[in-house]
Amino acid sequence: MFSISSLSPFHKLSLLAGWLLLFAISIVPMALAQETTPEPAPVELSVITTDNVANMAMLAELVQSGWVWSVAFSPDGALLAAGGCDTTNATLTNAQCANSRVYLWDMQTRAQAAVLEGHTGPVAAVAFSPDGRLLASAGCEEQEDQPCAGDIFLWDMETRQQIATFKGHTGLVRSLAFSPDGALLASAGVDMTVRLWDVETHEPIATLEGHTDDVNVVAFSPDGALLASGGSDGTIRLWDVANAEQTSLIEAHGRYVYAVTFSPDGALLATGGSDGTVRLWDARNGEAIARLEGHQRHVYTLAFSPDGALLASGSLDNTLLLWDVAAAEPLAVLVGHKGLVRATAFSPDGRLLASGSGDGTIRLWGAVEP
């Protein structure tokens, strides 16, 4: 039988050294496994301004199931809502967009927070109420007696449940906007009408008629007194909300007007369309102020920064341009999308810019401190 006592002192020392080495090897991996890799320091984001747009970078890419048509930040900036067509097919027929969903993204984790289901067709428009309690979404719902109906869904953001359906549009609803006080919801449809709805009672208030082709977009002025609409008849129309009457008509952009938005102070109206230009107008009298040229194809979406100094525009040329509003000059070109940029929005604090694309992604951009 083997006995340690029978070994010479030299062999005893050698055996002891071997045991110590074996013991050390066995515990080192365990110690390493318990160590944690330090997390990278969070990226410091500044408010996006005319002075730091050169530092703009893509911070995250959020992947959806198909085309992104609309994005909207919640008033507190915690969520980003997005709607579109849950298909990658380029033809985008209503059948191929069946059962598309509304996606909610957490802006802190950049992860999907919820998916709102119920639409039977594409989701072309999403909008948060000013207090963030409600989300409106709309598109084109399948039905038997006609190709689709432009029903508008109203969602409770606390329960994430649908609480109402506004019915009236015949055909796709392309745009939604809450009034600044949250009392009204405006909708634009391919049935050539703009409609106003009472958010509290869920009842229609007025149908604004005058466009002679699809109405593509609506936007309230910051004081809620005016509503702007743009259509495929090549016109921008301003409406007196209280009287539900048209007050101004502007012809621009050739055939199609896709985007209209008011500056935060209400002094300017920005528009974009099929001629590839962005136009700035005096919101009080409709007089032309500037023509911004830089895109190579249709301009589909516009968004002012919260301070009104910057204007973002997205285009069929797959780019996002940032403009100095006062100088009427481009400051930066954001590239990376592999499809048209269909939607864009600044976060309420001005630190993020979101862009939604036909490539099925939402990109989040920010000004990173060097």
Percent of the chain with pLDDT over 90: 76
Mean pLDDT over residues 261-272, rounded? 98
Residues 6+ apart with CB under 8 A from 83: 68, 69, 70, 100, 101, 102, 103, 122, 123, 124, 125, 126, 137, 139
Specify whether the CB–CB gap between 279 and 288 falls below 8 A.
Answer: yes
Annotated domain spans of the chain: 4-34, 46-368
Percent pLDDT > 70 in the chain is: 85
- Cβ neighbours for 210, distance < 8 A, ≥ 6 positions apart: 237, 246, 249
pLDDT of residue 32: 29
Interacting residues of 128 by C-beta distance below 8 A, sequence separation 6+: 72, 73, 74, 75, 81, 134, 135, 157, 178
Q: How many CB atoms lie within 10 A of CB 249?
A: 12
The pLDDT of residue 3 is 41
Task: Tell me the two tokens of residue 272.
Answer: 């974009």
Q: Output 142 or 207, whichever has higher pLDDT.
A: 207
Residue indicated by tokens 């405006």: 186
Residue with tokens 């062999």: 11
Using 50, 70 and 90 to split pLDDT, how confident is the model at 95?
A: low
Q: What is the 3-state secondary structure (H, E, C) of the chain?
A: CCCHHHCCHHHHHHHHHHHHHHHHHHHHHHHHHHCCCCCCCCCCEECCCCCCHHHEEEEEEEECCCEEEEEEECCCCCEEEEEEECCCCCCCCCCCCCCCCEEEEECCCCCEEEEECCCCCCEEEEEECCCCCEEEEEECEECCCCCEEEEEEEEECCCCEEEEEEEEECCCEEEEEECCCCCEEEEEECCCEEEEEECCCCCEEEEEECCCCCEEEEEECCCCCEEEEEECCCEEEEEECCCCEEEEEEECCCCCEEEEEECCCCCEEEEEECCCEEEEEECCCCCEEEEEECCCCCEEEEEECCCCCEEEEEECCCCEEEEECCCCEEEEEECCCCCCEEEEEECCCCCCEEEEECCCEEEEEEEECC
Listed range (15-24, 134-143, 256-265) with the worst mean pLDDT: 15-24
* pLDDT tens digits, one per residue of 116-171: 999 988 999 999 999 999 999 999 888 776 678 899 999 999 999 999 999 999 99
For the record, the structure tokens of 133 come out as 């309690």
Mean pLDDT for the stretch of residues 228-236: 98
Phi, psi of 14 (to 5 degrees): -65, -45
> Mean of the per-residue pLDDT values for the chain?
87
- At 25-80, the pLDDT tens digits run 332 332 222 333 344 445 678 999 999 999 999 999 999 878 999 999 999 999 99
Calculated CA dihedral for residues 347, 189, 104, 361, nearest 10 degrees:
-80
Structure tokens given for 258 = 């896709």
What tokens were used for 364?
A: 């989040």
pLDDT at 94: 55
Examine the pLDDT at 267 and tell me if it is beyond 80.
Answer: yes
Q: What is the CATH number of domain 46-368?
A: 2.130.10.10
The answer, yes or no, to whether residue 6 has pLDDT greater than 60, is no
Give per-residue pLDDT as tens, 173-189: 999 999 999 999 999 99
Average pLDDT over residues 326-338: 96
Query: 261-282 b/e with 16+ CB inside 10 Å = b?
Result: bbbeebbbbbbbbbbbbbbbbe
Q: What is the pLDDT of residue 146?
A: 65
User: What is the distance between the alpha carbons of residues 117 and 85, in angstroms, rounded to a whole number?
Assistant: 13
273-283 per-position pLDDT tens digit: 999 999 999 99
- d(CA 368, CA 56) in angstroms, rounded, equals 6
Half-sphere exposure of 224 (CA within 13 A, CB side): 11
With cut-offs at 50, 70 and 90, classify the pLDDT of residue 11.
very low
Q: Give the pLDDT of residue 291.
A: 96
